[in-house]
Copies of this chain bind each other. A is one copy, B any other.
Amino acid sequence: MIQVAIMGFGTVGSGVAEVIARHSGSIAEKVATPIRLKYILARHDYPDSPFRDLIVQDFSIIENDPEVEVVVETIGGVGAALDYTRRALKAGKNVVTSNKELVAEHGYELLQLARRNNLNYLFEASVGGGIPIIRPISQCLAANSLTEICGILNGTTNYILTRMIRAGLPFDLALREAQEKGYAERDPSADIEGRDACRKICILASLAFGRHIYPRQADTEGITHIALEDVRCAGEGGRKIKLLGRAMLRPDKKVCAYVAPHLVNQDSPLANVEDVFNGIMVKGDAIGEVMFYGPGAGKLPTASAVVADVMDAARHMQSKKYLTWGPGGDDAAVSSDTVETGWYIRGAFPEPKARRAFGEAHFLRREDAPAEETAFLTRPMTRPELLRRLGDLPAQSIIRVLN
């Protein structure tokens, strides 16, 4: 029997308890030993919860119980979660997490600590909710040299953009709707400013390319400035605006990771990832392109990914499969200013001025546009070149185009 403790009893933590309870029979069969939930670390009692007898409020009870072999961390953030994760690993316990911030900021340290102690630190649920992505990248695509990861990594912003595109709602109303439906938090800034997607692309970049990439190394732009006018101009050209996290391995082995909205051609499988779904495209030298699609968040999907990791840890108590990557550093990453993409520009100036500045350009015209509005797509170029060519043209919107 493998005994497990859950730290944190919010949405994901309670989902993990539920999934373990619901599937105890089939889990025992698949792992070849039962998995028993022994403790849940929470700040309050939960007198009405079926798990009330498992609640403890003192981490050291878990830390000091040698029977606990796997600890699930769903606390979130980099405060207590970091402290408890370190202590759990030092106490000889495998750790499974859904905490993307912690993995993105401290993944290298924690993976090293786990390895030194011959333990697993697993984090399938930290990216893409329940979508299998960490294990496919590290195992199934292991015979590839991966070159790029590009994905819709945040369900909240994808929902907002989908509602702007389909229902013509302006950003504020679409955000409010997302909050009412429980897809966006009361403070939505980590989502709409791209920080959540940034953490996820950093985790994927570190895993795919082998060195820790920190969130501060990934230029991050959210969707708060996306106007309905842009959604409509893009739509006239058969494109959708999507918030993408991208990470590319350059020939000099440096990584460029960034988060920004992009105009995506409707032929791209990413264009059809709608609502709160996530879609993650992975490119490799042998495989070409594969995409993983599914619910990127949610209590039970995320919990099922956590429990799959718990089962994996339980199956590998004797021989560990290490997920790992190398240390980060300033030399590991380069700015997104080095990336050439097409650009979408919209502003109040006449077409000939755009032609003079950019030469070839693909002009877009939305219905009911004011006479002085010009919107167009440029050929691929870096941001510095774009800004140089733009000069003092009064651009209201500048958005990347996915090539």
For A140, what are the chain B residues with a Cβ–Cβ distance below 8 Å?
A: 124, 132, 135-136, 305, 308
Complex CA distance for A321 and B30, rounded to whole angstroms: 10
Does A287 belong to the interface (CB within 8 Å)?
yes
Within 208-250 of A, Cβ neighbours of B (below 8 Å) are at: none
Complex CA distance for A267 and B104, rounded to whole angstroms: 34
A288 touches B308 (CB 8 A): no
A284 touches B272 (CB 8 A): no
What band does the interface of chain A fall in when counting residues whose beta carbon is under 8 Å from B? 35 or more
Partner of A290, one of B287, B288, B294: B294
A276-319, CB under 8 A of B: which get 1 and which 0?
00000000111111111111001011011111101110011011
For A139, what are the chain B residues with a Cβ–Cβ distance below 8 Å?
A: 132, 135, 308, 311-312
A139-162, CB under 8 A of B: which get 1 and which 0?
111111100000000000000000
Does A113 belong to the interface (CB within 8 Å)?
no
For A26, what are the chain B residues with a Cβ–Cβ distance below 8 Å?
A: 145
A132 touches B143 (CB 8 A): no
Count of this chain's copies in the oligomeric assembly: 2
Chain B residue at minimum C-beta to C-beta distance from A318: B319
For A289, what are the chain B residues with a Cβ–Cβ distance below 8 Å?
A: 294-295
Name the distance in Å between A123's Cβ and chain B's nearest Cβ.
13
Does A23 belong to the interface (CB within 8 Å)?
yes
Name the distance in Å between A203's Cβ and chain B's nearest Cβ.
16
B300 touches A130 (CB 8 A): no
B312 touches A300 (CB 8 A): no
A372-384, CB under 8 A of B: which get 1 and which 0?
0000000000000
For A361, what are the chain B residues with a Cβ–Cβ distance below 8 Å?
A: none
Does A27 belong to the interface (CB within 8 Å)?
yes
B290 touches A290 (CB 8 A): no
For A359, what are the chain B residues with a Cβ–Cβ distance below 8 Å?
A: none
Does A10 belong to the interface (CB within 8 Å)?
no
User: With A135-B135, A272-B269 given, is the CB distance from A143 to B311 under 8 Å?
Assistant: yes
User: With A19-B286, A140-B308 given, is the CB distance from A292 to B292 under 8 Å?
Assistant: yes
Name the distance in Å between A27's Cβ and chain B's nearest Cβ.
7
For A23, what are the chain B residues with a Cβ–Cβ distance below 8 Å?
A: 143-145
Name the distance in Å between A275's Cβ and chain B's nearest Cβ.
10
A143 touches B19 (CB 8 A): yes
Please indicate which of the listed interface residues A30, A136, A303 has the most CB atoms of chain B within 10 Å of its own CB: A136
Name the distance in Å between A210's Cβ and chain B's nearest Cβ.
9
Complex CA distance for A308 and B311, rounded to whole angstroms: 21
A286 touches B315 (CB 8 A): no
B307 touches A143 (CB 8 A): yes
Complex CA distance for A311 and B142, rounded to whole angstroms: 8
Name the distance in Å between A10's Cβ and chain B's nearest Cβ.
17
User: With A139-B312, A272-B272 given, is the CB distance from A304 to B286 under 8 Å?
Assistant: yes
A315 touches B321 (CB 8 A): yes
Complex CA distance for A124 and B140, rounded to whole angstroms: 8
Name the distance in Å between A68's Cβ and chain B's nearest Cβ.
19
Please indicate which of the listed interface residues A130, A131, A142, A305 has the most CB atoms of chain B within 10 Å of its own CB: A142
For A143, what are the chain B residues with a Cβ–Cβ distance below 8 Å?
A: 19, 23, 27, 303-308, 310-311
Pull 22 A–B residue pairs with CB atoms less than 8 Å apart, ordered by A.
A23-B145, A26-B145, A124-B140, A132-B290, A135-B136, A135-B140, A136-B136, A139-B312, A140-B305, A143-B305, A143-B306, A143-B310, A269-B293, A286-B300, A286-B301, A286-B303, A287-B294, A287-B295, A287-B304, A291-B293, A292-B293, A315-B321
For the complex of A and B, list the 10 residue pairs with the smallest distance between their C-beta atoms, beginning with the closest.
Answer: A290-B294, A132-B140, A143-B307, A286-B304, A132-B136, A291-B293, A286-B300, A130-B287, A319-B319, A143-B304
